[in-house]
A and B are shown apart, each in its own frame.
Chain A
Amino acid sequence: RKEVEQDPGPFNVPEGATVAFNCTYSNSASQSFFWYRQDCRKEPKLLMSVYSSGNEDGRFTAQLNRASQYISLLIRDSKLSDSATYLCVVKVGSNYQLIWGAGTKLIIKP
């Protein structure tokens, strides 16, 4: 079983719609959680950290469910520019190493 699992997609979503995807992690000792965005052939960029109480940043909402060991990302009012691969990232321990999911590809269609 992979340490961090994501549905690879692609999710084909019409512009303006709401889309959500999950990520599951296997290590219950995971401490920190992040969503990164990666455009084709580019480096990943931090989208948002995920806090235990859930957090929102504009159209993006992240949730953490420690009991079920998953995190989620919700995108409201999707834009064409949201098309990208979204990477779920987990930090275990204090050695700053990040465990990466393979990403979920999102395609927003006009």
Chain B
Amino acid sequence: GAVVSQHPSRVICKSGTSVKIECRSLDFQATTMFWYRQFPKQSLMLMATSNEGSKATYEQGVEKDKFLINHASLTLSTLTVTSAHPEDSSFYICSARPPTGGKYEQYFGPGTRLTVT
């Protein structure tokens, strides 16, 4: 099956620093990738939809200047959390939509656990 990777899997950073998370689709080209955030015991919340070659579409309440998304190629999207604060500590998961015809709506990366101290 299709594989989506994320890097890093876990990161601890100090408040005020920026963190970049990479999401790669390893065996298919993804024109659309999604970034989710999940707090403990809560549902996945869609943060933004990333489209290759164009600006990301952010969900209501998500600051686009704080969560920078770049989808520069068909296999890579990056999420940069700028000036991170402890409340940004969360589990960040990306997903990629495979080419049409597959039974899966989205393939998920393994997630990145961010801890801001």
Q: What chain B residues lie within 8 Å of A34 (beta carbons)?
A: 105
| Interface bits A83-110 vs B (CB < 8 Å: 1, else 0) | 0000100010001111011110000000
Chain B residue nearest to A96 in the complex (CB): B97
Collect the chain B residues with CB atoms within 8 Å of residue A96's CB.
Answer: 32, 97, 105-106
B108 contact from A44, A95, A101, A102, Cβ within 8 A:
A44
- Which of B65-73, B75-83, B109-117 participates in binding chain A? B109-117
Q: Does B54 contact A (CB under 8 A)?
A: no
The complex places the Cα of A91 from the Cα of B104 at a distance, in Å, of 12
Tell me if B43 counts as interface (CB < 8 A to partner A): yes
- Contacting A at CB under 8 A, from B21-46, are 32, 34, 41-46
Q: Which residues of B contact A87 (CB under 8 A)?
A: 43-44
Q: Is A32 an interface residue (CB 8 A)?
A: yes
Q: Hey, what's the 0/1 contact readout for B78-105 against A, CB within 8 Å counting as 1?
A: 0000000000000101000100000111
Which of A4, A43, A49, A102 sits near B111, CB closer than 8 Å?
A43
What B residues does A98 contact at CB under 8 A?
Answer: 46, 105-106
Q: Are B43 and A102 in contact (CB under 8 A)?
A: yes
Task: Bin the interface of chain A by size.
Answer: 20 to 34
Q: Is the CB of A97 within 8 A of B104?
A: no
**Distance A9 CA – B42 CA, assembled complex (angstroms):** 13
B residues in contact (CB < 8 Å) with A = 32, 34, 41-46, 49, 91, 93, 97, 103-106, 108-111, 113
28 A-B residue pairs with CB within 8 Å: A4-B43, A8-B41, A32-B105, A41-B91, A41-B111, A41-B113, A42-B110, A43-B108, A43-B110, A43-B111, A46-B104, A49-B103, A87-B43, A87-B44, A91-B105, A96-B32, A96-B97, A96-B105, A96-B106, A97-B34, A97-B46, A98-B106, A100-B43, A100-B44, A101-B43, A102-B41, A102-B43, A103-B43
